[in-house]
A and B are shown apart, each in its own frame.
Chain A
Amino acid sequence: DSGVTQTPKHLITATGQRVTLRCSPRSGDLSVYWYQQSLDQGLQFLIQYYNGEERAKGNILERFSAQQFPDLHSELNLSSLELGDSALYFCASSSPNSPLHFGNGTRLTVT
């Protein structure tokens, strides 16, 4: 168990809808990262937060947004969903100079 909690595990929704994915980092970790992994693809970095502030941005679509709250949990909001957004979404957390620890992911299916 990595200590990173993601909910929900599975999400099935229709095109055009909006969903929110939730992540609780490991105790003591201030950094939260979001990654997208489409079928048989690599991990694509979306966004990083550190102690509530956006630290780095990757290939995140304008339809996607995220935030990190004062209690350090983070949410990833995906709107105007398209079929191509179907993927595994991973959250990871870390402390400075330490490895990233990943949650079990949320599997999003857009129909």
Chain B
Amino acid sequence: GQNIDQPTEMTATEGAIVQINCTYQTSGFNGLFWYQQHAGEAPTFLSYNVLDGLEEKGRFSSFLSRSKGYSYLLLKELQMKDSASYLCAVRGAGNMLTFGGGTRLMVKP
């Protein structure tokens, strides 16, 4: 089975940097994904890590440590439109993607 933990809520200030952590336990590992979801809308793909290290994509970066079962999503130069839920998901055996409960990020002026 899989167990994925991430904080329920976070608050940050516009222009700042925020780090959203995710820890996981899985019986098989074929990659870790981060998605952004605005309320009532579809999740949209942000990043993918399958090897240890940092993947950078514009204002967003994601880090993975497979030995520690740990990932984080780093958001720089926060904008109001970044207020959303951020979902950590682990792909285990059989290509199945299991999601954590999501972190609701509120960006304040």
Contacts and interface: CB of A to CB of B under 8 A. Distances in A.
Interface residues of B, number: 20
Given A43-B87, A90-B43, A100 B97 contact: yes
Interface stretch (B12-20, B53-61, B63-71, B99-107): B99-107
- Main secondary structure, interface of A, reads strand
Contacts of B33: 99-100
Contacts, number: 54
B101 to A, nearest CB: 4
B97 A42 contact: no
Contacts of B3: none
Given A31-B95, A102-B43, A107-B40, 5 more contacts: A2-B44, A43-B99, A88-B40, A94-B95, A99-B48
Given A99-B33, A99-B48, A43 B96 contact: no
B96 A48 contact: yes
A33 B41 contact: no
Closest 6 CB pairs of A and B: A42-B101, A102-B42, A43-B99, A99-B45, A56-B96, A56-B94
A104 B44 CA distance: 10
Interface in B22-41: 30-31, 33, 40-41
B42 A2 contact: yes
A41 B45 CA distance: 19
Interface of B: 30-31, 33, 40-45, 48, 87, 94-102
A71 B76 CA distance: 42
A45 B94 CA distance: 13
Contact of B95 (A42, A96, A103): A96
24 contacts: A2-B42, A33-B97, A41-B101, A42-B87, A42-B99, A43-B99, A43-B102, A45-B99, A48-B94, A50-B95, A55-B94, A55-B96, A56-B94, A56-B95, A58-B96, A90-B42, A92-B97, A94-B95, A97-B30, A97-B31, A99-B45, A100-B45, A101-B45, A104-B41
